[in-house]
Amino acid sequence: MPTVSMTVNGESVSSEVEPRTLLVQYLRENLGLTGTHVGCDTSQCGACVVHVNGKSAKSCTMLAVQAEGSEVSTIEGLADGDTLHPMQEAFRENHGLQCGFCTPGMVMSAIDLVQTNSDPSEHDVREWLEGNLCRCTGYHNIVKSILAGAKAMQG
Amino acid sequence: MNDANNKWIGKRTIRPDGADKVTGQATFGADTTMPGMIWGKVLRSPHAHANIRSIDTSKAESLPGVKAVITSADVTNYSPEKSVILGIQDMRWMTRNVMAREKALFHGHPVAAVAATSQKIADQACKLIEVDYEVLPWVVEIDDAIKSDAPILHEFIEFEGKPSNIAGTLEHKKGDVQTGFEEADVIVERSFTTRPVHQGYIEPHACLVSVSADGRATIWSSSQGQFMVRAMTSMLTDIPQSSIRAIPAEIGGGFGGKTIVYLEPLATILSKKSGRPVKMVMSREEVMRASGPTSGSKSTVKMGIKKDGSIVAAQGTYYLQAGALPGSPIRGAVGCAFAPYDIPNVHALGYDVVSNRSKVAAYRAPGAPIGAFAVECVIDEISEAIGMDPLEVRLKNAAKEGTQAAHGPVYPRIGYYETVEAALSHPHREIPLGKFQGRGVASGFWFNAGGESSSQVNITEDGNVVVTTGHPDIGGSRASIANITAELLGIDYKRVSVLIGDTATIGYSNLTGGSRVLFASGMAVTDSTEKVIVSLKERAAKIWDIDPEAVDWEDGYARPAGANAGMFDPLSLEELAERATETGGPIGAGSQLNTAGAEGGFATHMCDVEVDIDLGIVRIIRYTSFQDVGRAVHPSYVEGQLQGGAAQGIGWALNEEYIYDSEGRVDNPGFLDYRMPVCSDLPMLDTVMIEVPNPKHPQGVRGVGEVPLVPPLAAIRNAIYDALGIRFYGLPMSPPVVLEALEQGEAAE
């Protein structure tokens, strides 16, 4: 079995994995980072979005070995101790979730949006989120959360 | 409880599980692991309909790494001849749904299951199971299933004296429709179809089960009811309920689809056989093929109206797909269809039709959107025929307090009229529309539900509060319970922790479903908290040596009242908690109620669409929901229900449908081809919450979760008519369908 090495949430990890292991399986099953979710297996729902080298990526659509040498961050790596990342705080304060299953992927996608476009409009947010499904909220409070989070990230 | 004085009820407090959900700490169905855990996998039927002659599992069993293989022989059998009722389910169907018994009844029906040391080996083992099938003719559509020469799924089901795919009927009658139609100036009769749609929860079904050497089972799973999981698993495994502990995971959406079991009994039997903890997780494809969508339907609705706008007679006939085993939501279709209106003569009839599809499961106001779709479309047409605004027609015929509903009850104070009034006077109605834009309205009703709920309210030694209820929190109910408890105790809501107990730690609580949770658990928690307050007052009285009747509880303090007012310093919750031992021991109280009085919920929706006539795409440009919510204990999560239901309705109306191929297989079992609304499909979804408190609930709560899915289908269809002058009679109104209608210049009127 090949060995894969990467940095996950700032810590170096290295494991033997079957070549067919998906990045999401590696994160969830090998590293126990179950905040990254699997909803569809086919890269529509976005519950599995993580950052690979700072850009959002669907971890169900990547092999673990493709992340060799990469910096990976997951929802578990965002908060600074007890202080939530501004985007996490925005979702919490704006009730941007009902069941919360899509939330980690939404937050990770939203942060990448704001890194790309620091002052997104409602339209920008809606277009960006096409790859993240939510079935509970009708996206209303998610859009509100991301607009608030974007402002907060600008400090 | 006076609104003006409320500190917490009606406030947008931060949900207790918010931090866990935004940091990935929340534990969903697939997130639990155990030492020694192995993986379960289901082998599914490759045929839409087939007799199972034999199953040979020997090759699979001898594959290294395989620890157990099971078939229907391992699942408790119930004769198909006699019903075994559990809640709204029948276990003779449930045993055949979790594992095919005599026959495979749909493509994807489980026929065997394995547990192995890796997912890869489990996959390989499934391929080694040899099933001898006798392939049978199959049928998936209603029209085909009710033909006299249709393939019959179950020989023991008879209708009008012959084996049939019609498994049941339900009828509601009020007055005499024939006489009613004779009084009408205009009569419109139309036929409609809707397609099956999936609840679309993003979290696939998942569980982990560990059966110990002495036969006790612990189940971690995501469901809409840990007690349902316990009861069904018990009945399908013969393990007594007292030996099963069902622990609810956080649930990643359900919308009704997680009110029955699929995996838990199989994982339990696999764990018992293998002696290892067994984890099972469905793929999205398995969710789409083999868990329950809601019914597809065909219906005919006829309504008669006088020129003055009074509806004098209404008749509806509904055929609903049950899937492969009986039990479609005809009660919702037939009972809710005409429920918003005071119509003197009503006849509603529903048929439950089996066919070779996965068995339907509940979906948000089960059956009601189907019932309302036909009725609300016909109301649009009769309104046009007499030249009256469709909202004015609804207002004129609105059911009110004292109206006898066709499905039985005489309504107490309800808020339907107010939803129409609010729509009539809302600025949305005045916004000008452009070319190919249109506006539609429709209304809807859901029964709501009460039933069993348990709660425990404990005061911690440091004077804070832990509340335990028995309902998985699917949309923010913990936040609402925190608001109620904080309000009653007069303390900051942050001092209240709300937990969901497992089947061993809290009393029986019925499903999270039917819009019952905050109604019922709100009552149970109110009862427990009031008992706690009585105890706190008694303790203060003891400390002060006065009569407990002479103690008030106010803003988190016991205060001497009446003749003793001002004689002693008030005692805080913290002080009383500190002195609990000397005043009678631990402070806490439980309640186990069978709640009643969950009165109906009503909504009216207004929707603006714009049609791209080149592509046939219908875009929702404006949407406002008006709903009687009783009392919005936590407004954000009430609005969330209204918004989420509208979005699901938009998907149902415009894009979502199960497509079957020529072999009776679902052809679109994934989110690429099963097109749910994405963020860019929707505008902001406006909500107007009308609060007509339920007189039978301590906080005035009415269920709010189901109604929002009832009006959208017709509201959107009526808006498309306003935009194009084309009336559609089937769903979804997807781009190919709209384009075809545009090309044909098809106008029904």
Domain boundaries, chain B: 38-136+203-252+258-290, 297-448+599-744, 450-595
On whether any CB of chain A is under 8 Å from the CB of B76, the answer is no
Minimal CA separation from B646 to chain A, in Å: 7
Cβ distance of A92 and B19 shorter than 8 Å = yes
Cβ atoms of B285 and B670 within 8 Å: the answer is yes
- Return the amino acid letter for B629: V
CA distances from residue B187 to B178, B279, B303, B562, B719 in whole angstroms, order as listed:
12, 58, 6, 68, 22
DSSP state of B46: S
Q: Give B494-543 pLDDT, tens digit per residue.
A: 999 999 999 999 999 999 999 999 999 999 999 999 999 999 999 999 99
Q: Do domains B38-136+203-252+258-290 and B297-448+599-744 have the same CATH topology?
A: no
Q: Give A27-42 pLDDT, tens digit per residue.
A: 999 999 999 999 999 9
Alpha-carbon distance of B637 to B639, in angstroms, equals 5
Distance, first Cα to last Cα, chain B: 52
DSSP state of B614: T
Report residue A83 as tokens. 């202080």
Cβ distance of A135 and B25 shorter than 8 Å = no
Chain B hits for A80, Cβ within 8 Å: none
Strands B85-86 and B89-90: antiparallel
Minimal CA separation from A5 to chain B, in Å: 23
Query: What is the model's pLDDT at position B748?
Result: 40
Domains of chain A: residue spans and CATH: 3-76 (3.10.20.30), 86-153 (1.10.150.120)
Can the peptide bond before residue B695 be classed as cis, meaning omega within 30 degrees of 0? no
Cβ atoms of B309 and B178 within 8 Å: the answer is no
Q: Give B309-331 pLDDT, tens digit per residue.
A: 999 999 999 999 999 999 999 99
Minimal CA separation from B58 to chain A, in Å: 28
Chain B hits for A129, Cβ within 8 Å: 678-680
Q: Give B152-195 pLDDT, tens digit per residue.
A: 999 999 999 999 999 999 999 999 999 999 999 999 999 999 99
Burial letters B170-184, b for 16+ CB under 10 A, else e: bebebbebeebbeeb
**DSSP letter for each residue of B51-93:** EEEEEE-HHHHTSTTEEEEE-GGGSPP--TTS--EETTEEHHH
On whether any CB of chain A is under 8 Å from the CB of B475, the answer is yes
Residue B1: pLDDT band (50, 70, 90) is: very low
Minimal CA separation from B413 to chain A, in Å: 29
- Return the amino acid letter for B317: T
pLDDT at B2 over 50: no
Alpha-carbon distance of B176 to B178, in angstroms, equals 6
Q: How many helices (H) and strands (E) are present in chain A, helices listed first? A: 5, 5
Where do we find the tokens 């029906």? B109
On whether any CB of chain A is under 8 Å from the CB of B123, the answer is no
Q: Give B539-582 pLDDT, tens digit per residue.
A: 999 999 999 999 999 999 999 998 888 999 999 999 999 999 99
On whether any CB of chain A is under 8 Å from the CB of B283, the answer is yes
Q: Give B413-460 pLDDT, tens digit per residue.
A: 999 999 999 999 999 999 999 999 999 999 999 999 999 999 999 999
Q: Is the dihedral of CA B575, B580, B582, B584 positive or negative?
A: positive
Residue A155: pLDDT band (50, 70, 90) is: confident
What's the topology of domain B38-136+203-252+258-290?
Answer: Aldehyde Oxidoreductase; domain 3 (3.90.1170)
Strands A71-73 and A3-8: parallel
The phi and psi torsions of B594 (rounded to 5 degrees) equal -110, 95
Architecture of domain B450-595: 2-Layer Sandwich (3.30)
Among candidates A78, A93, A101 on the partner chain, residue whose Cβ is nearest the Cβ of B202: A101
What percentage of chain B carries pLDDT values higher than 70? 99
ipTM exceeding 0.90, yes/no: yes
Cβ atoms of B503 and B676 within 8 Å: the answer is no
Classify B380 as helix, strand or coil. helix
Residue B4: pLDDT band (50, 70, 90) is: confident
Q: Give mean pLDDT, residues A70-84.
A: 97
Q: Give A122-152 pLDDT, tens digit per residue.
A: 999 999 999 999 999 999 999 999 999 999 9
Cβ distance of A101 and B203 shorter than 8 Å = yes
Chain A hits for B14, Cβ within 8 Å: 92-93
B297-448+599-744 CATH choice from 3.30.365.10, 3.40.50.150, 2.60.40.10, 3.40.30.10: 3.30.365.10
Alpha-carbon distance of B237 to B354, in angstroms, equals 26
Average pLDDT, chain B: 97
Q: Give me the residues paired with residue B133 across strands.
A: B52
Mutate one of A140, A143, A146 to test the B interface: name it (highest B CB count within 10 A). A140
pLDDT at B747 over 90: no
Among candidates A38, A45, A84 on the partner chain, residue whose Cβ is nearest the Cβ of B671: A45
Report residue B694 as tokens. 């339920």
Minimal CA separation from A53 to chain B, in Å: 20
Q: Three-class SS string for B126-194?
A: HHHCEEEEEECCCCCCHHHHCCCCCCCCCCCCEECCEECCEEEEEEEEECCHHHHHHHCCEEEEEEEEE
